Amino acid sequence: MSIVSQKRGGLALVSSPKYISSHRIRLVSYAKDLEIDYIEVDADNLPEDLLEINPSGRLPTLFDRNLVLINDRVISEYLDERFPHPALMPIEAELRAKIRLFGLEIEAQWYDLVNQLEHEKLSPAKKKAYQKTLREQIVQFSPMIKNSHYIIGQELSLLDCCILPVLWRLQHLEIDLPKNAFTQSLFKYMDFHFKQEYFKKALSKYEAGLRPEYVL
């Protein structure tokens, strides 16, 4: 069946079951409990009719009637504005700016490293270097949690949806975080979200298979 026929004129998300950007948008969608058609495709073998609509081949791709969006950051904010309840961006301009700023940094640093480690053939030396860099960046970020269930504000935000797919993959990427007072809040943060229904539902079969050993 073609992508065009599957989307049936409503909201549809075409995503990869394996890539972190697709995981991010599924988290946003399930957190907002959207009525949406989820269509999984192989990122390395995209359907021809999808490429006709989206020549860049970039995933995830969101269809909303005649609108086609391909940037996961743009898709996140579009879904939050199009379906405002529950809101994943706070009202305060300062907090919204912080979420956008940190989100950009996570995309530029963490996402690139995760994609390299998860999907590229790396030399042992390069793999070790990438693992070390990602581990250090996450440890440095840990104090942001501050004994809270959320990175910024008192509710789930687009920033949480951006960060959680990275944290879920750490054990799979052979990255062990130090268990000390510095990272204690981070482990509590992960434990809280990994047990939430929205997080469980957003996992593809591939991602569910990456379940960290410490998650019950």
- Domain ranges, residue 8: 3-82
**C-beta neighbour count of 180 within 10 angstroms:** 9
CA 122 to chain centre: 23
Percent over 70 (pLDDT), the chain: 94
Do residues 51 and 10 both lie within one domain? yes
Domain end point (choices 24, 49, 82): 82
Looking at residue 214, its pLDDT comes to: 65
Nearest one of 94, 71, 91 to 162, comparing CA atoms: 71
Do residues 97 and 181 both lie within one domain? yes
Distances (CA, A) of 134 to 29, 73, 116, 169: 27, 21, 11, 12
The verdict on residue 168 lying in a domain is: yes
The type of residue at 176 is: D
The verdict on residue 212 lying in a domain is: no
Residue 143 belongs to domain with CATH number:
1.20.1050.10
**C-beta neighbour count of 2 within 10 angstroms:** 11
The verdict on residue 201 lying in a domain is: no
Domain end point (choices 14, 47, 82): 82
The verdict on residue 56 lying in a domain is: yes
Question: pLDDT tens digit string along 85-101?
Answer: 999 999 999 999 999 99
Burial of 48-81, coded b for 16+ CB within 10 Å and e otherwise, reads eebeeebeeeebbbbbbeeeebbbbbebbbbbbe
Nearest one of 74, 20, 11 to 39, comparing CA atoms: 11
The verdict on residue 213 lying in a domain is: no
Do residues 151 and 185 both lie within one domain? yes
Do residues 78 and 121 both lie within one domain? no
The verdict on residue 21 lying in a domain is: yes
Q: Which residues sit opposite 11 in a β-bridge?
A: 64
Residue 42 belongs to domain with CATH number:
3.40.30.10
Percent over 90 (pLDDT), the chain: 71
The verdict on residue 179 lying in a domain is: yes
Question: pLDDT tens digit string along 6-28?
Answer: 555 679 999 999 999 999 999 99
Residue 60 falls in which region: left (phi positive, over 0), alpha (psi -120 to 50) or beta: beta
> What DSSP element (H or E) covers 15?
strand 11-15
